[in-house]
Amino acid sequence: MPSPKLTKADFTGRYLSRFHDPAFTPMQDALDQIADIAWEAYSDERKAPVTRKAGPGFADPDYDLAVDWINAKAMVDAAKQRFEDGSEPLRGLLINGSSRSEHTCPGEMSKSYRLVQIANDVLEAAGIETKILDLSRLSSEFGREIHPCKACFSTAAALCH
């Protein structure tokens, strides 16, 4: 399979492409410095630049683990504890998987969005606390991204962090 690794020139061009507005021209030197730092992180494969020791409860407590992952695990553990306690109300997660919205398609409101709103009303009327994950925000709101899962968990669970 061909390597997905970019050359420095390709990486820099892609990285700086979001700054083509002439308003950024006075900041070109600073942008070049930032692009150099980003290239260094990319070429050194620093996927998790902020780490700390995994700590107690891990097979290797001395392992440098991504702080984001540690924080996410703590939230999952807390949610599991609340669920097992059973004293809190039921909770539901509703997901609008449509990328369309009135912000990306003028005058458009997807059926998925409307169905999620109906489901939310029904669940809340039944005393179930709900949260809505509206994936249409990915296409309409700046800076929102979900990186695709590589589906490696089934064969390499230990690497899925």
Confidence of residue 151 (pLDDT cuts 50, 70, 90): low
Residue-by-residue DSSP string for 112-152: HHHHHHHHHHHHHHTT-EEEEEETTHHHHSTT---PPP---
What's residue 71's pLDDT? 92
Mean pLDDT on 116-136 = 94
Tell me the pTM.
Answer: 0.63
Q: Determine the Cα–Cα distance for residues 125 and 119; give it in Å rounded to an integer.
A: 10
What's residue 134's pLDDT? 87
The domain ranges of the chain are 1-46, 50-87, 89-161
